[in-house]
């Protein structure tokens, strides 16, 4: 079905899908103390689902591979929309999470950030 597609374009689409699911979660986990597990998981899932759906509905797949008349999503690369959406939903689900575990994650951010950037305190974690 995809034999007439440009391989470089298919690779770019896979990177777009991967970036939509991973990049916002990685950046927020390194630089924002308010990120919670709930926000990371749901934001990453929304980025992944949006990017896959947009790729399928784009011209490259919907028209050229499936043979439908015209594309539903008019852009070639979905990351322009799915990456910001993953950031927004990660933020939204994190700020609305008031569970005990979310508060513990927020409280542990500073120590974890110092440990990840300097290595101070990491020797205790390695001995367990």
DSSP string, 1-67: --TTS-HHHHHHHHHHHHHHHHHHHHHHHHH-TT--HHHHHHHHHHHHHHHHHHHHTSIIIIITTT-
Whether pLDDT at 3 is above 80: no
Q: Residue 84: pLDDT above 60? A: yes
pLDDT the model gives residue 76: 82
For residue 99, what is the DSSP state? S
Selected residue with higher pLDDT from 15 and 120? 15
Local structure of 85: helix, strand or coil = helix
pLDDT for residue 117: 86
Q: What is the mean pLDDT of the chain?
A: 89
């Amino acid at each position: 079905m995809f034999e007439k597609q440009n391989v470089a374009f298919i690779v770019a689409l896979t990177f777009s899908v991967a970036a939509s699911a991973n990049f916002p979660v990685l950046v927020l986990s390194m630089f924002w103390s308010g990120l919670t597990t709930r926000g990371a998981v749901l934001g990453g899932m929304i980025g992944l689902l949006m990017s896959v759906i947009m790729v399928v509905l784009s011209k490259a797949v919907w028209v050229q591979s499936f043979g439908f008349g015209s594309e539903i999503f008019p852009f070639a690369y979905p990351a322009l929309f799915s990456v910001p959406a993953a950031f927004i939903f990660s933020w939204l689900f994190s700020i609305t999470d008031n569970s005990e575990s979310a508060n513990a994650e927020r409280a542990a951010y500073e120590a974890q950030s110092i440990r990840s950037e300097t290595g101070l305190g990491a020797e205790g974690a390695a001995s367990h």
